[in-house]
Amino acid sequence: MLAGQAPTARAITRPLEVSGTESYPLFVEFTDDKFLDATTMSLQQDVILVQGPHYKQIAQYSGMIPSHNATGTVVLLQYVLAPPKKGWSSANIGTYKITLQQDRITDSDGNTMPRAKIGSLYVTGVAPVFPNIVGTYAGRWNQSADLDGSGGVVPPGTGGPLKNDPPVAGKLAITRQAGSRIFGTFYGKRTTEVHGTLYANGKFTLVLDDTDLDRHLRITGKLFSNRLIGYATDQTKGVFDTAGSFDFRRDVR
């Protein structure tokens, strides 16, 4: 007859808003009245089964979390929750059951853990997946844009070229992206810092508010693979001044 009691386990989870093909950490705390060998536990396969809406996978071992428990009676392990084959979608929203598989974990006395539900995980929603827009884009501005010093004018918001207006070189650098927020530098008549919003469909809006010049610049466009296509408008001292279309390509060197 084995001495002591079998170990116990509990999953430590938080509600998740999943996104695309990302993986997510899952923590499981194991407790025993004698001793648990974390190194041996990490070698065990098929330990944690996760089941939910249109989802059934074994969580993969990722690592041990350092613990202040020197006696080895408490071990905290991290597992990874992989995405479905086609990525997370609204069909995966719901409650997930976390199950410890039978006879995978054993303590120093030889007591094995039975199959048991050790917790639940809640997927609350699917976050939008934003394309990577960071990079330096160079191309041609339509010369109707005064932003490049041409002095031309087109109707507000049209972004269309004026007849016989030759294009001029231009550049836009997107230097940082944090979710839907993007930041960068616009190189035109002046070099100016811009910030704005990126959408999951690749559309974006960048703005510059220069209080010294009482100037408002708005760049609106869309990312097509490695191209930014759209138009810019400029208002100075509260009066609409110019607009111009652009077609820039990302430098992929």
What is the phi/psi pair of residue 41, to 5°?
Answer: -60, -35
What is the third-level CATH fold of 8-126?
Immunoglobulin-like (2.60.40)
Q: Above 50 in pLDDT, residue 16?
A: yes
Q: Which residue has the higher pLDDT, 144 or 31?
A: 31
Buried b or exposed e, range 121-150, using 16+ CB within 10 angstroms: bebeebbeebeebebbbebbbbbbbbbbeb
Three-state DSSP at 80 gives: strand
Has residue 196 got a pLDDT over 70? yes
Sheet with 116-126: strands ordered across? 8-12, 24-31, 74-81, 55-65, 48-52, 94-100, 116-126, 16-18
CA 118/CA 69 separation, integer angstroms: 21
Q: Which CATH class is domain 135-250?
A: mainly beta
Residue-wise pLDDT tens digits, 197-249: 998 889 999 887 666 556 677 888 899 988 988 877 766 555 545 557 778 88
Domain residue ranges of the chain, discontinuous segments joined by +: 8-126, 135-250
